[in-house]
Amino acid sequence: MIPSMSDAIRITHLLLKHSPDPRLELRFESPLQLLIAVILSAQCTDARVNEVTKSLFRKYRKASDFATADVAAFEQEIRPTGFYRNKARAVIECCRQLAAEYQGEVPANVEQLTELAGVGRKTANMVLGNAFGAQAIAVDTHVARVSRRLGLTESQNAEQIEQDLMAQVPRNRWTALSNALILHGRRVCAARKPRCSDCCLYAECAWLEKS
C-alpha cells in the first residue's frame, strides 16, 4: 500500500534535514558534461567516471568534439568505465544529434532529451534537475530500492516509481529528494547490507516489517 502524501512529505523532510543540499557526485561544469558523465556512469561508480572525465573534458569541450572523435581512440579513453564500446557509440551518436539538431546545445526538455542516443528518462531527469535547475525525479537503482523499502512505491518499473514519487512529494522537492535518495542508497541503504542503525529514516521504514 502506497503511503499518504503526508507520510511521503514527512519522509522527504527527514531525509532533507539529514542531507539539506544533496548533490550528484558526478563532476560537471555544463549540461553537456553532465549528460556525457551520466551515460558513462552506467554500471560504473561515479568516482571512476570522475577520474575518466577529468582528462576527457579537457580534450573534448563541445558536442562537435565528441561527434567527430575517433571511435577507437575514444573507446580507449573511456575504457575504465566498462562497456566502453557501447558507451562510445552512444556518446558519439548523441553528440552528432546535438550538433546536427540543436547547434551543439543540450535541450532542456525531457522529450527531446530522450530522443538522443543513450538517453533514457533517468539520464534526462538527472540532466534537467542538476544542470538546468528544473524539478525532476531520476529513478536509478538506488532511488528504486530505497523508495520500495520506505513504502513510497510497490513498483519495479522505473517510470511508475517516478510517477508514484511525483504524486506524493511537492514539486519543489523533486530534484532534492531524487538526489538525496541516490546518496542514501549508496551510503546507508545498501542493497545487501543496509546500515539500518545509522539510518535517519529507520522509524519510517516499511521494509523492516518484512525483513
Rounded (to 5) percent helix, strand, coil in the chain: 65, 0, 35
Give residue 97's pLDDT.
98
Give residue 146's pLDDT.
97
Residue 177 lies in a domain: yes
Give residue 52's pLDDT.
98
Are 14 and 102 in a shared domain? no
Are 47 and 126 in a shared domain? yes
**Of the residues 131, 146, 164, which one is the last residue of a structural domain?**
131
Residue 45 lies in a domain: yes
Residue 36 lies in a domain: yes
Are 36 and 127 in a shared domain? yes
CATH number for the domain including 185?
1.10.1670.10
Mapped onto helix, strand or coil, the DSSP state of residue 200 is coil
Q: From the candidates 17, 21, 54, 122, which is the catalytic residue? A: 122
What are the phi and psi torsion angles at 205 (to 5°)?
Answer: -80, 120
Residue 211 lies in a domain: no
Per-residue pLDDT tens over the stretch 58-82: 999 999 999 999 999 999 999 999 9
Are 60 and 80 in a shared domain? yes
Give residue 6's pLDDT.
78
* CA-based nearest residue to 165, from 132, 179, 201: 179
**Of the residues 98, 131, 164, which one is the last residue of a structural domain?**
131
21 has catalytic annotation: no
Per-residue pLDDT tens over the stretch 79-106: 999 999 999 999 999 999 999 999 999 9
Are 82 and 100 in a shared domain? yes
Give residue 210's pLDDT.
53
Are 96 and 172 in a shared domain? no
**Domain count within the chain:** 2
The list of the chain residues with pLDDT below 70 reads 1-5, 209-211
Q: How far, in Å, are 21, 95, 148 from residue 32 at the CA level?
A: 22, 9, 31
54 has catalytic annotation: no
Are 18 and 67 in a shared domain? no
Are 48 and 115 in a shared domain? yes
Are 19 and 35 in a shared domain? no
Residue 126 lies in a domain: yes
Q: From the candidates 140, 164, 193, 210, which is the catalytic residue? A: 140
CATH number for the domain including 118?
1.10.340.30
Are 145 and 97 in a shared domain? no
Are 35 and 121 in a shared domain? yes
Can you tell me the distance from the alpha carbon of 178 to that of 105, in angstroms, rounded to the nearest whole number?
Answer: 25
Give residue 61's pLDDT.
97
Expressed as residue numbers, the domain containing 50 is: 31-131
Are 12 and 86 in a shared domain? no
**Of the residues 131, 146, 168, which one is the last residue of a structural domain?**
131
